[in-house]
Amino acid sequence: MTLSPKNRVRRRRLGVATAAAGLLATLLTAGPALATPDPGDGSVKKEKLSSGEAAQDRSAIKSGEIPGVDEIVHSDNIEHLINVPKGALKGTNTDISFQGKYAFAGNYDGFTIYDISNPRSPKTVSEVLCPGGQNDVSVSGDLLFLSTDSSRSDNSCNSKSQSATVKESWEGIKIFDISDKRNPQYVAAVETACGSHTNTIVPERRNVYVYVSSYYPNAAFPDCQPPHDGISVIKVPRKAPEKSAVVGFPVLFPGDGGNPGSPTNPGVSQTSGCHDITVLPSKDLAAGACMGDGILFDIEDPENPRVIERVQDNVNFAFWHSATFNQKANKVVFTDELGGGGAATCNAEIGPNRGANGIYDITGKGDKRELAFRSYFKIDRHQADAEVCVAHNGSLIPVKGRDLMIQAWYQGGISLWDFTDSSKPKEIGYFERGPITLDRVTTGGPWSTYYYNGHVYSNDIAKGLDVLKINDRRTDPAKKVKLGELNVQTQPDYFDDDDDDDDDDHDD
């Protein structure tokens, strides 16, 4: 759904930034080393636009087809409450996790903890400087898990960038004790093959299992040797995280190793691991977005996940990026990161089916379950040639009887959409900013946009944290659902989970 310009609610300036009370700029001091973005969520070649492309963008702004530079526009059912600019961490903002009244926001330079008890005025509690892109983050109890997928000189937060050809280089999972939100403590590290681009946790009472997604092996990398056709599984004892260790590397693509990519399948990524995994512990189910493949697997034994279905789309999908189950676990939404997070793909030339979400119904039972393709969904709000736009991280909005999702699209902004009818998905709301600049292709916009306890939180790559409120009768029932913890890649069973106590305030 595209709302006409007259229905757009326009804001000439960004929201007023809140004061970052109690800011701790560097809890863990490190040098000025910058993490190197990795393919899959990579750096953008800031290509200068041609004079014709720049002129087209300016014309589109003048006509009202796209918003002006840094202008905010949104549908009338989306309210922008506030923007909190970046603090001490100036790198690329990435994923978000939640616990009680706190949000934990990843950044290529480390992570930030926000107090979101008042969503209209979030406060920065602490910032941890610990470079190591992309610093994908998950939390469980007193533990925080941070992914490092850029080769470092060692596992400390003082490490420097170092070639992966050096055996002593390090990549993997860092573990922090966050019982004191104002002073997180780095307590353990586990090296994993090819690093950790993303992590997904399977929490249990005594242990937390961490599924580590990584890819792009190379014979020249001592710690990232081909074939790399699986994931690392880490077991973390809650009471002794220093004893954390890799307990397995299940092979997910036995035999052929996964999609061969080009030239067999032109334009499709060769599978050499997974980019991201979403688990649904209440159903012992997981979905993996694995470069050239989408998979469904059984996680009844969390140390030994078992693939039960695998699909490919060699026509329209370039890079299987992430996955989201619906509440009934009879659908999966897979996203395609066309252009690797570095291209303007939301335009008429690319079209509606490439760089889109793929909606699959789960049919059958047990080991006979299959993924049946139903449709694509892509925002139809065309973006400027200067705007990197791609399907990215989103979450369910918990409403019984409906399949609703809020999703980040980089500079395509935020999309609120309905896939209750798998074959006829539709956008029902949006929020976006205009281009950062008009002279070159530049990355920016929301990396992760998630619904948590009545509000939407969005980690904007360049602008910081945005808080939104949805005012729509279709999403109103979700306001009754309260969680004590949310890692979007560890999907809760929203309507059977009674654990909504805020019991993590050890530092208050």
DSSP string spanning 62-91? HHTSS--TT-EEE-TTEEEEEEE---S--S
The arithmetic mean of pLDDT across residues 6-32, rounded, is 28
Percentage of the residues of the chain whose pLDDT score is greater than 70: 89
Q: Does residue 330 have a pLDDT over 70? A: yes
From the options 2.130.10.10, 1.20.1050.10, 3.40.50.620, 3.40.710.10, give the CATH code of 5-24+69-236+244-486.
2.130.10.10
Give the residue carrying structure tokens 């973005």: 37
Give the residue carrying structure tokens 């729509």: 472
d(CA 323, CA 340) in angstroms, rounded, equals 16
Residue 131 burial (CB count, 10 A): 26
The arithmetic mean of pLDDT across residues 479-507, rounded, is 74
Residue 67 burial (CB count, 10 A): 24
d(CA 114, CA 139) in angstroms, rounded, equals 14
65-106 pLDDT, tens digit per residue, is 899 999 999 999 999 999 999 999 999 999 999 999 999 999
Tell me the pLDDT band of 46, cut-offs 50, 70 and 90. Answer: low
Cis peptide before 134 (omega within 30 of 0): yes
The DSSP bridge partners found for residue 129 are: 110
pLDDT at 106: 98
Cα distances (Å, whole numbers) of residue 42 to 36, 38, 39: 8, 5, 4
Residue 431 burial (CB count, 10 A): 24
Cα pseudo-dihedral 44, 48, 51, 55, rounded to 10: 40
Q: Does residue 508 have a pLDDT over 90? A: no
28, two tokens: 């863990």
The arithmetic mean of pLDDT across residues 405-434, rounded, is 98
Pairing of strands 293-298, 285-290: antiparallel
DSSP 375: E
120, two tokens: 């209209």
DSSP 387: B
- Per the CB < 8 A criterion, the answer to whether 323 and 274 are in contact is no
366-396 pLDDT, tens digit per residue, is 999 999 999 999 999 999 999 999 999 999 9
d(CA 430, CA 472) in angstroms, rounded, equals 12
Residue partners of 437: CB distance under 8 A and separation at least 6? 69, 386
Beta strands in 274-402 (DSSP E): 276-280, 285-290, 293-298, 306-311, 320-325, 331-336, 357-363, 370-377, 394-397
Burial class (CB in 10 A: 0-12, 13-18, 19+), 267: middle
The average confidence (pLDDT) of the chain is 89
Tell me the pLDDT band of 22, cut-offs 50, 70 and 90. Answer: very low
pLDDT at 38: 35
The arithmetic mean of pLDDT across residues 493-508, rounded, is 51
The arithmetic mean of pLDDT across residues 485-500, rounded, is 81
179-230 pLDDT, tens digit per residue, is 999 999 999 999 999 999 999 999 999 999 999 999 999 999 999 999 999 9
Residue partners of 48: CB distance under 8 A and separation at least 6? 439, 440
d(CA 409, CA 445) in angstroms, rounded, equals 7
d(CA 220, CA 222) in angstroms, rounded, equals 6
95-121 pLDDT, tens digit per residue, is 999 999 999 999 999 999 999 999 999
d(CA 357, CA 336) in angstroms, rounded, equals 6
Pairing of strands 185-191, 198-203: unpaired
pLDDT greater at residue 427 or residue 497? 427
Domains of the chain, by residue range, sit at 5-24+69-236+244-486
Percentage of the residues of the chain whose pLDDT score is greater than 90: 83
Pairing of strands 110-115, 123-129: antiparallel
Q: What are the phi and psi torsion angles at 57 (to 5°)?
A: -65, -45
In single-letter form, the type of residue at position 316 comes to: N
Q: Of 202-206, 330-334, 414-418, 440-444, where does mean pLDDT reach its minimum?
A: 440-444
pLDDT at 364: 97
Residue 3 burial (CB count, 10 A): 18
Tell me the pLDDT band of 177, cut-offs 50, 70 and 90. Answer: very high
d(CA 471, CA 469) in angstroms, rounded, equals 6
d(CA 180, CA 176) in angstroms, rounded, equals 10
Residue 362: which of 394, 407, 327, 388 has the closest Cα? Answer: 327
